[in-house]
Structures are given as C-alpha cells and as structure tokens.
Chains A and B, each alone.
Chain A
Amino acid sequence: MIDNNSKDQKLLTEEGISSKILTIYLIWSVIISLGIITFGTILFIITGKSGYNMGNLNSLITAKGSLSTYPFYIQSIWNGVLTLKPFAIIQLGVLILLLTPFGRMLLQFFIFIYEKDTIFAIIALVVFVILMFSLYMVNVLEMLHIA
C-alpha cells in the first residue's frame, strides 16, 4: 500500500514537470511572438512606413506577399528585420507564432520518450513530420502555379 502510494506520487511529479515545461513553452511563445508583432505594429504607426511599397489603403489590404509588398520567405524576412522594416518584424513574430505548435509536438515527442511511451513517441514524431510536410506542400502549389 505504501509502495503504491509512493509510485503514484512519483508519477504525479513526473507528469507535473512535463506539464510545467509545456505550459512555460506555450505561454512564452505567445508572449514573445505577440510582443514582436506589437513592436512591429507600433514601429509601423510611429514611422508611417512599412519598409516596403505600400501604395494606397486599398492596395495595402489586398496585397499578397511579394518583393515589393511584404516578405514571406525566411531570408527576406530576416534581411528586413536587420534593417528594422516594420512589416518584416511583424512577419517574424507571426512566423514564430505559427511554428509554436511544431515545437510543441517535438516537445511532446521528448516527453513521451521520457515517459518510455514508445508508441506515442512515434505518433508524435509522425505528426511533426506531417507538419513539416505541410511546408513542402507550398512547393507543390507553386509548381502547379496556383499559389
């Protein structure tokens, strides 16, 4: 009986650690990404410049990503961030935000491994691979000229 209790307690603290890690990870990803997005937006309002070609209001709200409107590739976002272009900074924040669940699945994978739950470690890894595959789909859409 005593044995059983201590085992339960051990399980509880292990679970406690992994859920704490997940909670910290999720909260800070949201705070950091939204913080960067807010910073970029304030910079945009203060300077009145996006760092790219804005045109009028109508072209601003209908613009798809391109070299002249706003960056959407990692390299061009990073180049824009280094030169403090407001729209590039916002895109960096958005990118961090949308990659949060990718990291979350990877964390989940390590948690399952830590808990010696092999089947679910594999499932979590497969989900991560599916997420990575979604990025590859972008190339497929481009090849088909529909993106």
Chain B
Amino acid sequence: MIYLIVEYLIEILIASILAGIIGALGGLGGGVLIVPFLTLYFHVPISLAIGASIVSVIATSSGSAAAYVRDKISNIRIGTFLVLFTTTGAILGAFIEHVTPVKVLFFIFGVVLIISVIPMLKKIGEEVPNVEKNDPLAEKLGLYGEYYDSVLKREVKYKVTGVKPGAAMMFMAGTISGLLGIGSGAFKVLAMDFAMRLPIKVSTTTSNFMIGVTAAASAGIYFFTGDVNPFIAAPVAMGVLIGAIIGTKILVRIRSSSVRKIFAVIILIVGLEMILRGAGVI
C-alpha cells in the first residue's frame, strides 16, 4: 500500500514541476495549472486542490519577490496601497469558495483560465505610456516614480492615473485569487496596465510583490478550515517552486514569443476541460 502512496506522491510532484515550468514560461504563476491538474487528473476534491495551490503561490511569489526587491523597478508604494484592495477581495473570495457549488467553481476556473491566455497571445502594455497628469490621489500618496530601464538605457519617470478604477479592479483580482487559489497575476497586471497606465515593467514586478500578500489573505482561511491537506500540499509546494526555478532558467535562453503560444494552447485546452467538467460533460 505504501508503495502506491509514495508513487502517487511522486506523480503529484512531477505534475507540479511541470505546472511550475509551464507557468513560468507562459508568464503566469505556476498556480493556474495546479488546480486543473489535481482535480482533472488526480481526482483531488477541488477545495483541497485550491488549498494546496494557494500555498504554492506563496512559495513561488516569495521566492521570486526576493529577486525583484533588489531591482528597484517594482513600486513598493503602489504595491502596498493596492494590496489593501486585493487582500480584502481575497477574503471575500475565500468566503465565496466555501459556499459555491463544486460545478460552478470548475466553470469559473475554466473561464478565468481562458481569459488569462489573452495577455499571453497579444502583447499588452506600452513600455512607457504617456500620462500627462497624476491622479490627485496618486499625487497625494506619491505613487509616481522612476526606474532605470536597461533596454532603453535611460531613467524612465512615470505618472499614475486612474487610481480608483485600478483599486476596484484590484479588488476583483483579489477575489479571483481567493476564490480559485491562484496568484491572479495576469489580472493584477491588467489593472495596473489599463486603469493606472503604468509602464509594463513596473506593472509586472509590482504585481509579483502583491501576489504573495494577496495569497496569504486567503491561504490562512483555507489552512485553518482544514482545506490544506499535507499529503497534497507538500509535493505541490515543492514541485511548483522547483518548476518555477527551472522555467525561469529556460526562459532566458529561448525566444519566448513562439513558446508562449504553445503554452497558451495548453492552458486553453485545460480551461475548456474545466468548463466541460463544470457543465457535467466529463
């Protein structure tokens, strides 16, 4: 019996490493594929899959945040201000998860997966958007900033607009994170990009800072309601972290655009599978 159990543990570990690699190469966190993998192929109940996934999100974001702290591109003030909204949303999301029927969760997950593919296919975000004037709130809080762009080889100063719609979108991103146990980095970047018009480099690095804090707001709820099963959470946390490290190493060596498209297709298929499961077809 124990051989069977150990074999299963190793299978989850390998699947998590794969999810971590695909996540890193696709520019999404490893978390997005963990829940589908665990539920569709390992027959883990979705609540436990979400509990394991949110823990792995904290592992990878803390690991990579350590690298981003030094680069000075991420805007800690914007991040700190916006996690006010993502954490509140995450608590709501975790609450909703506990009262939502399983089939509906599958369906929402599938839809979110398909939406997250959009930024992978279409390059979003201007390198340096031209914002004329700071939002009054951004002015007051001093959210604007500057960073050294190693590609453009100059200091880039930027202004910040649309703080209120940005905050509202962050609340939504937080809710999705808490509801589905994912980092929802794609949605955070979209909010900073569309609403607040931040340079794309600032959006992505700042979102990384926010993901871990946001995930912690719902992870506590999943953990203390008994939804973090150590038999599943342990191989998932280790696997996704290992996968993310490998994925990041591969990423610097290959040209990402065509590879991204391949992974976008994978995520699209998995998203469809989740929707079909939600609809009760499979």
Which residues of A does B touch, CB under 8 Å?
15, 19, 22-23, 26-27, 29-30, 33-34, 37-38, 40-41, 45, 48, 50, 54, 56-57, 60-66, 69-70, 72-73, 87, 90-91, 93-95, 97-102, 104-105, 108, 112, 119-120, 123-124, 126-127, 130-131, 133-135, 137-138, 140-142, 146-147
Find residues 164-192 in chain B having any chain A CB closer than 8 Å to their own CB.
none
Q: Across the A-B interface, how many residue pairs have beta carbons closer than 8 Å?
A: 190
Task: Please indicate the chain A residues that have their CB under 8 angstroms from the CB of B130 in the complex.
Answer: none
Q: Is the CB of A61 within 8 A of B229?
A: yes
Asked if B113 lies at the interface with its beta carbon under 8 angstroms from chain A, I say: no
Task: Please indicate the chain B residues that have their CB under 8 angstroms from the CB of A90 in the complex.
Answer: 230, 233-234
The residue that A130 contacts in the complex, of B42, B91, B226, with Cβ under 8 A, is B91
The residue that A137 contacts in the complex, of B6, B77, B95, B228, with Cβ under 8 A, is B95
Q: Is the CB of B98 within 8 A of A108?
A: no
Minimum C-beta distance from B84 to chain A (A): 6
Which residues of B does A touch, CB under 8 Å?
1-2, 4-6, 8-9, 42-45, 47-48, 55, 58-59, 62-63, 65-66, 69-70, 72, 76-77, 80-81, 83-84, 87-88, 90-91, 94-95, 98-99, 141, 212-213, 215-221, 223-235, 237-238, 241
Minimum C-beta distance from A42 to chain B (A): 10
Q: Is the CB of A26 within 8 A of B80?
A: no
Q: Is the CB of A38 within 8 A of B80?
A: no
Task: Identify 9 new A-B residue pairs, CB closer than 8 A, beyond the known A26-B65, A101-B213, A141-B225.
Answer: A41-B234, A60-B5, A61-B44, A65-B228, A70-B230, A72-B228, A93-B234, A94-B230, A98-B55
The residue that A61 contacts in the complex, of B8, B77, B215, with Cβ under 8 A, is B8
Of the A-B pairs whose beta carbons lie under 8 Å apart in the complex, a sample of 27, sorted by A's number, is A15-B72, A19-B69, A22-B69, A23-B66, A34-B237, A41-B234, A57-B1, A60-B5, A61-B232, A65-B227, A70-B229, A91-B228, A95-B223, A97-B59, A100-B212, A101-B62, A120-B80, A120-B141, A127-B84, A130-B91, A131-B216, A134-B218, A138-B225, A141-B95, A141-B221, A142-B225, A147-B98
